[in-house]
Chains A and B, each alone.
Chain A
Amino acid sequence: GDSVTQMEGPVTLSEEAFLTINCTYTATGYPSLFWYVQYPGEGLQLLLKATKADDKGSNKGFEATYRKETTSFHLEKGSVQVSDSAVYFCALISDTGRRALTFGSGTRLQVQP
């Protein structure tokens, strides 16, 4: 079945540091890929998405590129802020089989001033 693997957290960075959160996936067909973010006490919000190979999703300074050859969708940001502290979830929805969002386990990011 479909699955998403994320790097374990927490990831602790200083403000203005470079961020990478790794995400790899297993899926049949050609899935669409997403990053969601969950701030403390809130539900998940869509951060960015990519629907086909080599697409780059971007939002609020975050970027991720759909790499079919490495089945990866790593999240990056050039300069993190304290306000970026949250849990980040990588997710996919396959174009075959049970078409529901499959999430990774989440990676907690803590940004220190």
Chain B
Amino acid sequence: KAGVTQTPRYLIKTRGQQVTLSCSPISGHRSVSWYQQTPGQGLQFLFEYFSETQRNKGNFPGRFSGRQFSNSRSEMNVSTLELGDSALYLCASSPTQVEYGGEKLFFGSGTQLSVL
């Protein structure tokens, strides 16, 4: 069974640009969550999608957005990039919404975004 796949693995952008990250969940998983990981702030929850609907959202500005497609694949978009957006972005999939089974999260290897 294939794991959670995130693409691309590395990304370099400049300030002001926008970026789209992709996540393919484990087959059969309907929930996709996104986290930002930085050395200073650790792992911070961005949002969770389940059945194409955003079910939960963290405390990030509106520049961070996401969506989920009918095949459960998810994309995350960051507009008007800032230097502080440099981070490892992790995607995690789950067969159910996280609040009903947080231990069933499976993480991808992440996309390392560098903003110059």
B-contacting residues of A (Cβ < 8 Å)?
32, 34, 41-46, 49, 89, 91, 93, 98-106
Which are the 8 A-B pairs with shortest beta-carbon distances?
A43-B107, A99-B99, A103-B43, A105-B42, A93-B102, A44-B107, A100-B45, A49-B103
Whether a CB of chain A sits under 8 angstroms from the CB of B51 is no
In angstroms, Cα B105 to Cα A101, docked, is 10
**Is the Cβ of A101 less than 8 Å from the Cβ of B45?**
yes
A-contacting residues of B (Cβ < 8 Å)?
4, 33, 35, 42-45, 48, 56, 58, 90, 92, 98-99, 102-103, 105-110
Q: Of all chain B residues, which has the CB nearest A43?
A: B107
Q: Which of A46, A98, A101, A104 has the most CB of B within 10 A?
A: A101
A-B contact count (CB 8 A): 55
- Residues in B neighbouring A42, C-beta threshold 8 A: 109
- Residues in B neighbouring A93, C-beta threshold 8 A: 98-99, 102
In angstroms, Cα B56 to Cα A46, docked, is 21
Least Cβ distance of B45 to chain A in Å?
5
Least Cβ distance of A45 to chain B in Å?
7
In angstroms, Cα B33 to Cα A105, docked, is 18
- Residues in B neighbouring A98, C-beta threshold 8 A: 56, 58
Least Cβ distance of B109 to chain A in Å?
5
- Residues in B neighbouring A104, C-beta threshold 8 A: 42
Least Cβ distance of A24 to chain B in Å?
15
**Is the Cβ of A100 less than 8 Å from the Cβ of B58?**
yes
